[in-house]
A and B are shown apart, each in its own frame.
Chain A
Amino acid sequence: MPVSGSPSTGAVTLSLEGRITAYTVAPIWRKALDTLARNPDRPILVDASRLEYIDNTGIALIFDLKRRQRPPGAEVEIHDLAPNLAALIPAYDAKRYAKAYEKPEAIGVIEHIGWAAGQQLTYLGIMLGFLRNCGTALGRAIIGRGEVRWSEVLSVATEAGANAVPIVLLIGFLMGVIIAFEIGLVAQQFGAVIFVVNGVGVAMLRELGPLMTAIVFAGRTGAAFAAEIGTQKVNEEVNAILTFGLDPVYFLVLPRLLASMVVVPLLAVLADLVGLFGGALVLVTFDISFLQFYNQLLGAVGAGDLLLGVFKASVFGLAIAAIGCQRGLNTGAGATSVGLSATSAVVTGIVWIVVIDGIFTVLTS
């Protein structure tokens, strides 16, 4: 793009030539802006007489040059622009165009912290309200005063429970194998291999069975709950439920809470059993027979350990379902929001599983 100065008028002429397209416009644009910056007090004449073709980016370039605020006598003038291209330029409203690019007002760190804290408090209020509604619905269902959609409970239990059996069996078995092997190697050095049975028994029944089942459940079902309900929210199905005068908590959340409360403990018991079997299998290689394993296990763990694990699993199930459903109901608009809700359900679910597990450990130790 040639640039020339006129000694008589003091004007600087920018010549736009040939074809200006998205692929060629960048250096021309830079040079044009550079010329404007170098000549702040001189008029700029843009000669478009030798311009053969421009696309949208070329129009944007001309528009950009025209909209520049320059002092009087130093304006930018476009000369000899083809009439069809010249007609496009006024279609852009310079004021509205500039407004769209206004930067949002920057806020200070303190203000930002206050805003974020306010957001969290609002969210906490929403979550507490949701938990209160869930508690009421659950309480009414348990004492038999509230209506429960049992067909829905069964359907959720089948999908979230029966279909999760293979993965829970696999994870439970591998946990038992890994624990037995790791502890066995250390115990072998002290001649205390038989006590590995105690470790595997207590770890599986009290901790790993419920915990690993809950983590699998959060990843598999908590996310599914959030995505299902989130999609229903986006498709206005939740609004349709509301305008039938139905409560989404009763209609969508309660069946999932009840199903999860029942299914997670059952899955945890399965994980316990295959975990113990995996441990026993490994200990055979350490010369501990199945019968020795069984006898030692009876002495090491009791019904209390199993019941504690089952109860914990039930609470985990409740928390995962409540978080998944809440995230689903809180979904914004569009497909992205559904994805964010599902992700958030898994992350929050796992965090709360660990927190609840910690509370149980403190209370029962």
Chain B
Amino acid sequence: MAQMADIPSTAAAGARGGPAISVNRLKMGYGKRVLLDNASFDVHRGEILVILGGSGCGKSSLMKNIIGLYQPMAGDILIDGESIVRAGPEKKAQLQRRMGVMYQSGALFGSLNVLQNVRFPLDEFTDMGLAEKNLTARMLLQLVEMGHAEALMPGELSGGMQKRAGIARAMALGADMLMLDEPSAGLDPITAANLDRTIRSLRDNLGFTFVVVTHELQSIFNIADRGVMLDPVSHSIIAEGKPSDLRDHSEDPRVRQFFNRLPDEARQATGS
């Protein structure tokens, strides 16, 4: 039943040079509608990069382009130096398994309990015995502070628990890059802070590379090493850098408005 996949270990992947992810002159959108054009940026190994911007600017779509779910209109995306855009189905699947993904809703399989969800990638891609798989899954659940909930079904979990279980599942196959779509959206401040702490701890202790899509300001300042800000009007990246620097020193009024949480009138009043 299980199939052995070509899954490079975290250590092996980390030993390679160059950026973990490289987005080059990317143009993406839906049908004829362009969301982002000529976008280029790198994600360095072991960093937490946040894709940020207002609602509808294409943050989640950009993430889905990076993980190979959507085909860009133009440009290229390199995962560890290999193009996921031009990859054939097998190579693409191989690259996708390098990236653990947590979707906005957690996307846990409704028919499996929490432990089975986290074990799922191991069931599918490894020849490990059941006891070993359970042990690994329980360890991952402990890591995201979900050890107590392994027997629960997804429908019985709170939003924050679903997201943490989603992160545990994303890590199960030894992915060294984790993509998180709105991890703290809709969570209460304490749960969101705990999740932020978990993300930082995973990066600090295990060296994961994170790409996080969010527009939660507090979360951005808590976790991000660097941010890439998208603009829905110009369909481009308008800022890139450390969030606190962007907030304090950016000359772009759109960036200052976002980081200082100002309404449109205030931005107009500041002379933009």
Q: Does B associate with A?
A: yes
A283 to B67, CA, bound (A): 66
Enumerate B56-99 residues with CB–CB distance to A below 8 Å: 64, 67-69, 92-94, 96-97, 99
A246 to B109, CA, bound (A): 14
B104 and chain A: residue at smallest CB distance: A236
Which B residues are in CB contact (< 8 Å) with A243? 67-69, 96, 99, 101
A342 to B110, CA, bound (A): 19
- B156 CB–A CB distance under 8 Å: no
- A237 CB–B CB distance under 8 Å: yes
The 8 Å CB contact of A235, one of B92, B94, B96, B105, is: B105
Let me know if A237 and B101 touch, CB within 8 A: no
Enumerate B125-139 residues with CB–CB distance to A below 8 Å: 125
Given A245-B92, A245-B93, A246-B124, also A240-B5 (CB < 8 A) = no
Enumerate A219-239 residues with CB–CB distance to B below 8 Å: 231-232, 235-237, 239
- B174 CB–A CB distance under 8 Å: no
- B121 CB–A CB distance under 8 Å: yes
Per-residue CB contact flags for chain A residues 235-277 toward chain B (1 = under 8 Å, else 0) read: 1110110111110000000000000000000000000000000
Interface centre among A147, A231, A237 (most CB of B within 10 A): A237
- B1 CB–A CB distance under 8 Å: yes
A-B contact count (CB 8 A): 50
- In the assembled complex, the CB of B247 is this many whole angstroms from the nearest CB of chain A, namely 27
- B259 CB–A CB distance under 8 Å: no
A245 and chain B: residue at smallest CB distance: B93
- In the assembled complex, the CB of A160 is this many whole angstroms from the nearest CB of chain B, namely 15
Per-residue CB contact flags for chain B residues 193-233 toward chain A (1 = under 8 Å, else 0) read: 00000000000000000000000000000000000000000
Given A147-B1, A149-B1, A245-B92, also A235-B110 (CB < 8 A) = yes
Which A residues are in CB contact (< 8 Å) with B5? 245
B92 and chain A: residue at smallest CB distance: A245
Which A residues are in CB contact (< 8 Å) with B99? 243
Interface centre among A149, A240, A244, A245 (most CB of B within 10 A): A245
B179 and chain A: residue at smallest CB distance: A243
- In the assembled complex, the CB of A216 is this many whole angstroms from the nearest CB of chain B, namely 24
- In the assembled complex, the CB of A156 is this many whole angstroms from the nearest CB of chain B, namely 11
B99 and chain A: residue at smallest CB distance: A243
- B107 CB–A CB distance under 8 Å: yes
Let me know if A236 and B107 touch, CB within 8 A: yes
Per-residue CB contact flags for chain B residues 104-123 toward chain A (1 = under 8 Å, else 0) read: 11011110000000001100
- B3 CB–A CB distance under 8 Å: yes
Let me know if B101 and A240 touch, CB within 8 A: yes
Let me know if A237 and B107 touch, CB within 8 A: yes
Given A243-B101, A244-B121, A244-B124, also A237-B109 (CB < 8 A) = yes
Which A residues are in CB contact (< 8 Å) with B93? 245-246
Per-residue CB contact flags for chain B residues 1-13 toward chain A (1 = under 8 Å, else 0) read: 1010100000000
Which A residues are in CB contact (< 8 Å) with B94? 245
Let me know if A236 and B105 touch, CB within 8 A: yes
Interface centre among B67, B99, B107, B109 (most CB of A within 10 A): B107
A245 to B87, CA, bound (A): 13
- What residues of chain B have their CB less than 8 Å away from a CB belonging to chain A? 1, 3, 5, 64, 67-69, 92-94, 96-97, 99, 101, 103-105, 107-110, 120-121, 124-125, 169, 173
Report the 10 A-B pairs with minimum CB-CB distance, sorted nearest first. Answer: A245-B93, A236-B107, A236-B103, A240-B107, A243-B101, A245-B96, A245-B97, A243-B96, A237-B107, A243-B67
